[in-house]
Amino acid sequence: MESLGEIMVDLGFFKGKNIFITGHTGFKGAWLSRILINAGANVTGYSLPAPTNPSLFELVDISNHIHHIIGDIRDKEALQDAFDSSQPEIVLHLAAQPLVREGYINPVYTYETNVMGTVNILECARHSDTVKSFLNVTTDKVYKNNEWEWGYRENEPLDGFDPYSNSKSCSELVTHSYKSSYFTDGHASISTARAGNVIGGGDFAEDRIIPDCVRAIEMGKNVIVRNPFSTRPYQHVLEPLFAYLLICAKQYDNKSLSGWYNVGPDDCDCLTTGELVSLFCKYWGDLNWIDESDNGPHEANFLKLDSSKIKNTFGWKSQWHIEEAVQKIVEWTRVYLGKGNITEEMDYQIEAFINVGR
């Protein structure tokens, strides 16, 4: 068995470091902020207000433990002011319009946020004397999807179909251009990370299947599944977040490690939406789902990632397979619905994830 140090980032690396996170009020941003708070980092978050009500960000009181700034990633001047005041060494860019269906409804906003937002944060980084490590978080949907049965690799064409997916493809290309044009002197490492479908406790977003399960429980109804036969690379939220931190830490002093990384689950964790909901129902008990396909806008039916590069480069591997990931979500949901201590449960799950393999 590998030692933990070969597959898990040393969070002690982040203690006392200035870290700038965009999109910190979102689901992934709240979990990431909590990890870094516990690690003793000096975190500045720049984001719009929490996108859901309730929100994990507010439930665990993140704003009182970091430098919390409300701002729009499209507002270059406000972003620059926040960036300059924080003097970051590490930047994690998560801010985005993250939903496929919302992209169809509001394509202009989606492109403005996901493309020009990336331009704006990279402009801040290129004029900075302090940034040493920059990571743009994108998605598995950046690839031109041919509905192949094998995983996409980092050298596959980028050409997302819908406005959301395509805007994230553009965000990748912007990052590639900036890396080639402005960071060849090595003063900062620039990377992107393309994650699969992220699930976990505390996601309250519309149009996502695990939040739909939780809402069904609250209402005492069956879970409605609109696309049960689509195969996706599902992974617990802590999987990509620790991978992001691993990339940031390793490239901090080794610029040759900057690049483009898939961060997806193993093949055994690529399953249909119906299979995922069935797992949730199994571990929750007394919950069922029904197929109500709604003939909505185009979404890919089959999509998965080949994560060989990050595994071979850093020794990274998945810690929780899908069954354990769903169990952790059910445990978090029971604490939440039972009005228990959510922060304590969150910290417990972070520690449990770190201690896998010890």
Categorize the per-residue pLDDT at 4 as very low, low, confident or very high, splitting at 50, 70 and 90. Answer: very low
Other beta carbons within 10 angstroms of residue 112's beta carbon come to: 16
Give pLDDT tens digits for 256-286. 999 999 999 988 888 999 999 999 999 999 9
What DSSP state is assigned to residue 115?
Answer: I
**C-alpha–C-alpha distance, residues 14 and 27, integer Å:** 21
Asked whether residue 301 carries a pLDDT value surpassing 80, the answer given is no
φ, ψ for residue 21 (rounded to 5)?
A: -120, 125
Give pLDDT tens digits for 26-65. 999 999 999 999 999 999 999 999 999 999 999 999 999 9
**Which residues have a Cβ under 8 Å from the Cβ of 121 and sit 6 or more positions away?**
22, 73, 79, 83, 91, 93, 95, 136
pTM assigned to the model:
0.94
Domains of the chain are 4-354 (3.40.50.720)
